[in-house]
């Protein structure tokens, strides 16, 4: 039986993502999604959309990465 994932508020999700990136270094979108899922949490939007919004606010950096086959996110 799977446990339902709690949708984080925008502020909680931003703090969660920034905390992850500070602790673990650059992460792909999928890695962020998996780590959030392990804590039974999820972003308010689709993960990549939410991360793009954070990037536009200047909270995180994001760049396309061939190695990770997607976006790689980090703190500025």
In a domain, 36, yes or no: yes
DSSP state of 60: S
Residue-wise pLDDT for 53-75, tens only, equals 999 999 999 999 998 889 999 99
Nearest residue to 32 (alpha-carbon basis) of 3, 59, 24, 58: 24
Q: By three-state DSSP, how is residue 69 classified?
A: coil
Q: In whole angstroms, what is the distance from residue 35 CA to residue 42 CA?
A: 9
Q: What is the pTM of this model?
A: 0.90
In a domain, 51, yes or no: yes
Structural domain total, the chain: 1
In a domain, 24, yes or no: yes
In a domain, 1, yes or no: no
Residue-wise pLDDT for 3-40, tens only, equals 778 899 999 999 999 999 999 999 999 999 999 999 99
CATH number of the structural domain spanning residue 63? 1.10.10.10
Q: Which two tokens stand for residue 66?
A: 């061939």
């Amino acid at each position: 039986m799977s446990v339902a994932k709690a949708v984080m508020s925008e502020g909680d999700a931003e703090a969660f993502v920034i905390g992850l990136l500070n602790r673990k270094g650059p992460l792909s979108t999928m890695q962020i999604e998996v780590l959030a899922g392990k804590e039974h949490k999820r972003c308010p939007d689709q993960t990549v959309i939410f991360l793009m919004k954070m990037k536009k606010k200047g909270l995180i950096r994001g760049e396309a990465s061939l190695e990770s086959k997607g976006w790689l996110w980090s703190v500025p």
